[in-house]
């Protein structure tokens, strides 16, 4: 992962994506009627799930393109994205499984499984932790800090209970965080695909993930409105 370099061009691309995302939801969410916009099946929640799903897929692809510490880091990020996905996912309670998924017990079990797997993986791959730590605390990791900052902003807004304005800011900040993760994962994939003999196929796969993310979110929105 130390070889990953995020260029000025990537920074401009990420900035444009974030501005478009924030601007779109800031102007389309009506603060006088947020019952639909901020509903769990609403547009912004749907896009959040789509962004996380896209980031998960791209981090897994990036993990397959790398070895040792790079693979470990990307697989770890994919697992973290799955945790975010389950955190954002809301399903109607129509049976014992969906009731369990909406319970605090499920969150506890989820945490136990994730921590258990992480500890076991770290125990077997401990010699790679140093290289990952060097990357995480290096300037090259700045896109991940961008995603983390937006997530912290969302958490802060969530802690300021009650006002509609804070609800809107929370959801927009979270969507920006997840979008930043997806774009960053695509950037990692692209960089490591250049050393692969299947470069064109991998780039096509990256584009396909983005198309599926936005098309899927759009189609789901039409289904909900219908």
Predicted confidence (pLDDT) per residue in 97-121, tens digit: 778 877 888 888 888 888 888 888 7
Distances (CA, A) of 30 to 36, 50, 58, 111, 154: 9, 22, 33, 36, 19
Can you tell me the mean pLDDT for 155-177?
86
Domain that holds residue 161: 35-225
d(CA 131, CA 2): 8
Task: Indicate if the alpha-carbon torsion angle 167, 171, 174, 176 is positive or negative.
Answer: negative
Quick check: 17 pLDDT over 90?
yes
The larger pLDDT score, comparing residue 178 to residue 32, is at 178
pLDDT at 115: 87
Q: Is residue 212 part of a domain?
A: yes
pLDDT tens digits, 177-217: 999 999 999 999 888 877 666 778 888 888 899 888 988 87
Give residue 21's pLDDT: 93
Residue 51 covered by a domain = yes
**Residues near 142 by Cβ (< 8 Å), separated by ≥ 6?**
6
Residue 11 lies in a domain: no
% of residues, the chain, pLDDT over 70 = 88
**Domain annotation covers residue 7:** no
Whether residue 80 has pLDDT greater than 80: yes
Indicate the average pLDDT of the chain.
84
**pLDDT, greater one: 167 or 19:** 19
The pLDDT assigned to 38 comes to 61
> Is 190 contained in some domain?
yes
Whether 2 is covered by a domain: the verdict is no
Count: domains in the chain: 1
From 46-60, 128-142, 208-222, the region with the lowest mean pLDDT? 208-222
Q: What pLDDT sits at residue 60?
A: 93
pLDDT confidence band for 221 (50 / 70 / 90) = low
Q: Is 10 a member of any domain?
A: no
pLDDT tens digits for range 148-160: 999 999 999 888 8
- Domain assignment of residue 207, yes or no: yes
The residue that leads in pLDDT, 91 or 82, is: 82
State the burial class of residue 113 (Cβ atoms within 10 Å of its Cβ: 0-12, 13-18, 19+).
exposed
Give 136-145 pLDDT, tens digit per residue: 999 999 999 9
């Amino acid at each position: 992962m130390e070889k990953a370099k995020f260029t000025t061009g990537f920074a401009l691309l990420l900035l444009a994506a974030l501005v478009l995302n924030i601007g779109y939801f800031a102007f389309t969410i009506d603060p006088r009627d947020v019952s639909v916009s901020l509903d769990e099946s609403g547009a912004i929640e749907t896009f959040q799930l789509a962004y996380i799903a896209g980031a998960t897929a791209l981090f897994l692809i990036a993990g397959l393109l790398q070895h040792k510490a790079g693979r470990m880091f990307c697989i770890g990020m994919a697992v973290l994205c799955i945790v975010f996905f389950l955190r954002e996912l809301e399903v109607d309670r129509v049976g014992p499984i969906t009731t369990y998924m909406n319970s605090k017990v499920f969150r506890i079990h989820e945490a136990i499984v994730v921590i258990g797997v992480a500890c076991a993986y770290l125990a077997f791959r401990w010699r790679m932790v140093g290289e990952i730590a060097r990357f995480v605390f290096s300037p090259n990791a700045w896109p991940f800090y961008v995603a983390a900052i937006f997530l912290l902003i969302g958490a802060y807004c969530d802690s300021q209970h009650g006002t509609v304005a804070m609800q809107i800011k929370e959801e927009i900040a979270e969507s920006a965080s997840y979008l930043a993760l997806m774009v960053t994962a695509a950037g990692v994939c692209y960089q490591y695909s250049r050393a692969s003999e299947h470069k064109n196929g991998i780039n096509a796969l990256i584009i396909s993930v983005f198309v599926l993310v936005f098309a899927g979110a759009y189609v789901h929105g039409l289904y909900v409105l219908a």
